[in-house]
Amino acid sequence: MNDRAMPWRWTCGVVALLCGVACARGGGANAGVPPEKVADFVHAVIAADRATYAEEVVHRLQDVEKVVRATEQFREEKGLPLPSQMLRMGAQRAAKSGGFRYALISAWAINKANMPRTDFETRGLAAVAQAPDAVYRSTEEVGGKRYFMSLYPDVAVSEACVSCHNGHAESPRKDFKLNDVMGGVVVALPLE
Ligand code: HEC
């Protein structure tokens, strides 16, 4: 390193530092990912995991290889959990991180713990049942904290969804058809 190069390098360093601060203060604040996008990303992961589990684990081992069945009483019967049970167990673990929450709910729930519990959930389920392509969103206060809420329609994508729910003793609705909205996935992101 020669001495004449030093001031130039130093100037460069300061300019880079100032730019970094300016960017963090100005552009950075606006350049964040909007909450709609974050919720959409989270939902995409939940939906992809559920579909992969349903297809590559449940369908393959139960219907193709015929080695083990998926059953609601999976512990007692040494079977596989249903996709909806997998989702809930994952959601319970994720909730322990203290950050965002998610859940699979329905106004026609087999498991009454999956019924809507808030105005937002009741309104959102009614809205997506009417418009299955839409996402219902709102900012809500829960326990003194503000959350950005999104509710995504959960659609009967296969005959298996329809026949299992219509035939289940605990199902309050028995007339589901293919492509009906059966419920919704709620994603709650804390805003503070
Ligand atoms: C083999 C039976 C079975 C199949 C197949 C099945 N479900 Fe379910 N589903 C259940 C049971 C049982 C529950 C309740 C489990 C729990 O959460 O404890 C449930 C829960 C749900 C819930 C939450 C509300 C509720 O009823 O408790 C939704 C929404 C749902 N399923 C949608 C679907 C969709 C969409 C499909 C197809 C992609 C599907 N289910 C396939 C049995 C099934």
Per-residue pLDDT of 138-185, as tens digits, reads: 999 988 999 999 999 999 999 889 999 999 999 999 999 999 999 999
Q: Is the CB of 107 under 6 A from ligand 1?
A: no
| pLDDT tens sequence across 21-44 | 333 444 444 579 999 999 999 999
The confidence score (pLDDT) of residue 30 equals 56
Q: Is the CB of 82 under 6 A from ligand 1?
A: yes
The confidence score (pLDDT) of residue 77 equals 98
Q: Position of tokens 């859940």?
A: 103
What is the Å distance from ligand 1's center to 170 Cα?
A: 11
Phi, psi of 50 (to 5 degrees): -65, -45
- Per cent of the chain over pLDDT 90 is 77
CA distance 187 to 114: 14
Q: Which has more confidence, 63 or 98?
A: 63
Rounding to the nearest 10 degrees, give the CA dihedral for residues 49, 53, 55, 59: -160
CA distance 23 to 3: 31
Q: Which of 76, 110, 152 is the best mutation target for the ligand 1 pocket, counting ligand atoms within 8 Å of the beta carbon and taking the most?
A: 110
Q: Does 10 have pLDDT greater than 90?
A: no
pLDDT band per the 50, 70, 90 thresholds, residue 7 = very low
Of 72, 75, 96, whose CA–CA distance to 85 is shortest? 72
What is the Å distance from ligand 1's center to 114 Cα?
A: 10
What is the Å distance from ligand 1's center to 33 Cα?
A: 32
